[in-house]
Amino acid sequence: MSVSVIVPIYNEAENIALLHKAVTDVLRTLNLPYEILLVNDGSQDDSGNELRQLAQRDSCVKVIEFRKNYGQTAAMQAGIQAASMGVIVLMDGDLQNDPQDIPMMLARLEEGFDLVHGWRKNRQDSFLDRTLPSRIANWLISRVTGFPVHDLGCSLKAIKTDIAQELQLYGEMHRFIPILAHWRGARCLEVVTTHHPRRHGVSKYGLSRTIRVLFDLLTVKYLTHYVVSPMKLFGSMGLLCFLVGGLAGTATLWMKQQQGVDMTGNPLLLLTALSAMMGVQFLSFGMLGELCSRIYFSAQNQTHYTIRTTLNFEASTIEFDQRRAA
């Protein structure tokens, strides 16, 4: 096993040296090859200078510097794509995640899990503006996606590199990594981790991110359930519209024949026409979605399935090459 520790940095100048020492002390005890990737997400304080000096002192430190602030998800994605070790550990740069949890998480990976993500059970944050909204969001996400989880907001995660590099992260989707990995067939495990109060600096999170997380939740729901076959979603909605239109049309005809009600301006007649048009539109969306899905997987050179392992393929290829050479 080899480890790449990825840490997004945004205005954490006072924490960088402490973070490096804490992470390095833990990694050295593991006696494993490692690297520390620090991604400067457009910091406006002295973080850039601190990172450059740190990279000069420690060859195991690699620095990626953004031209401006793109957000934590982009920073994690850049670090994941640059990682060269077999396992990736993601964590925050504010020292609230405890590097002492890394060996425990790596041990759980060795038991056969593909991703181990943290649960800040005893969270050291203010209740009203941080802990309570997080609990509500986690409950909602768990119900919508069907993925049992207590704390998707915990950045501390250990994941096999091949799985992490299959994920495409946008928006605020770094918090949905366990769900996206599970969708790709990864074996995921949530473990209780230590959480510390922030020592220096101020939090970059607030209630304003809640709306963006909700929008990303809709995207994740679509990606994990309907991206391979969009017609399941849009076709169902189209059939529902046709059903409503059929019922409304039947009621309109009954009112006309049995009670002599004038159909002109009848709300049920308008509902019939509207439902029929919406049904056609949803079916059209479904067909376009199916076409876009096939173009997406073809252009990305990806498949909608994942293979964990293969057996005897290398030997068969060698025997075939030998027979062809003969």
Any bridge partners for residue 5, and if so which?
36, 89
CA atoms within 13 A on the CB side of 92: 23
Q: Which pLDDT score is estimated for 282? A: 92
Ranking 20-24, 75-79, 164-168, 316-320 by mean pLDDT, the lowest is 316-320
3-state helix, strand, coil in the chain (%, to 5): 55, 10, 35
| CA–CA dist 34, 143 (Å, integer) | 37
Digit-coded pLDDT (tens) for 189-239: 999 988 877 666 565 555 556 677 777 788 888 888 888 888 888 999 999
Is the Cα dihedral 318, 319, 323, 324 positive or negative? negative
Q: How confident is the model at residue 183 (pLDDT cuts 50, 70, 90)?
A: confident
CA angle 77–78–82, rounded 5-degree value: 115
Helix, strand, or coil (residue 303): coil
Q: Which pLDDT score is estimated for 169? A: 84
**Percentage of residues of the chain with pLDDT beyond 90:** 38
For residues 280-291, average pLDDT: 90
For residues 316-324, average pLDDT: 50
The rounded Cα 199 to chain-centroid distance in angstroms is 28
**Which residue type, as a one-letter code, is found at position 203?**
S
Q: Which pLDDT score is estimated for 122? A: 77
Write the DSSP assignment of 96-137 as a string of letters. -B-GGGHHHHHHHHHTT-SEEEEE-TT--S-IIIIIHHHHHH
- Give the chain's mean pLDDT: 83
Write the DSSP assignment of 252-316 as a string of letters. HHHHHHHH----TT-HHHHHHHHHHHHHHHHHHHHHHHHHHHHHHHHHTT--SS-----SSHHHH
Look at the block and give the residue holding tokens 């992260």: 169
Q: How confident is the model at residue 292 (pLDDT cuts 50, 70, 90)?
A: confident
- CB–CB of 9/39 below 8 Å? yes
Helix, strand, or coil (residue 309): coil
Asked whether residue 242 carries a pLDDT value surpassing 90, the answer given is: yes
For residues 35-64, average pLDDT: 91
- CB–CB of 194/101 below 8 Å? yes
Q: How confident is the model at residue 2 (pLDDT cuts 50, 70, 90)?
A: very high
Sheet holding 3-9: strands in order across?
Answer: 61-65, 34-40, 3-9, 87-90, 157-160, 115-119, 188-192
Q: Which pLDDT score is estimated for 320? A: 45
Q: Which pLDDT score is estimated for 39? A: 92
Digit-coded pLDDT (tens) for 80-108: 999 999 999 999 888 888 999 999 999 99
Digit-coded pLDDT (tens) for 106-152: 999 999 899 999 888 877 666 565 666 777 777 888 788 888 888 88
**Percentage of residues of the chain with pLDDT beyond 70:** 84
Q: Which pLDDT score is estimated for 170? A: 80
